[in-house]
């Protein structure tokens, strides 16, 4: 009985094995490669940086030159308390009027309130208060231009924070 069962299994496995072998032989016949050719490599062409001397060397420090523009910050005057804070950290929270004098109330980063009037200095860019209104404090700052090194004036303002 064992011989009959093993002969039957051997006969069945032989037929399936032939089909599998035939499938494996023919499996790759209908496949085609879809590989694009490599692009042509262009030769490296070395160029000289700043051949016409129109650019400044980015690895050399530039000297700040002050031309006769007449705008210079007064570096010899004593600093006022509000010049210790960056302008971005100061908030305009109100104003007071007493006769002809108008004071702006400014909140500092350490949550203190300071009074300033026209002519006082605020911020780290030599900003002088030129006008105080109900909605804003107008400043005239003196900053150094990054490219030329000249001192230039710019007008900026602090708007009322509610």
Q: Hey, which bits of the chain come out as E strands?
A: 91-98, 101-107, 113-116, 121-122, 127-132, 136-144, 151-159
Tokens 């262009």 belong to residue = 42
Q: Which domains does the chain have, with CATH numbers?
A: 81-159 (2.30.30.830)
pLDDT tens-digit series, residues 54-85: 787 778 777 655 455 678 888 888 999 999 99
Confidence (pLDDT) at 14: 47
The two tokens of residue 38 are 């490599």
Total-model pTM? 0.56
């Amino acid at each position: 009985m064992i011989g009959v069962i093993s002969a039957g299994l051997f006969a069945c496995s032989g037929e399936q094995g032939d089909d599998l072998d035939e499938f494996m032989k023919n499996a790759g016949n209908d496949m085609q490669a879809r590989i694009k050719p490599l692009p042509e490599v262009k030769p490296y062409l070395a160029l000289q940086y700043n051949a016409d001397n129109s650019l400044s060397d980015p690895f050399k420090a530039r000297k700040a030159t002050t031309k006769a523009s007449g705008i210079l910050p007064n570096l010899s005057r004593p600093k006022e308390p509000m010049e210790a804070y960056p302008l971005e950290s100061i908030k305009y929270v109100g104003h007071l009027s007493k006769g002809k004098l108008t004071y702006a109330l400014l909140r500092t980063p350490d949550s203190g309130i300071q009074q300033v009037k026209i002519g006082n200095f605020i911020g780290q860019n030599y900003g002088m208060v030129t006008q105080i209104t109900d909605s804003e404090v107008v400043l005239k700052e003196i900053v150094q231009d990054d490219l030329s090194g000249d001192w230039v004036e710019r007008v900026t303002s602090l708007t009322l924070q509610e």
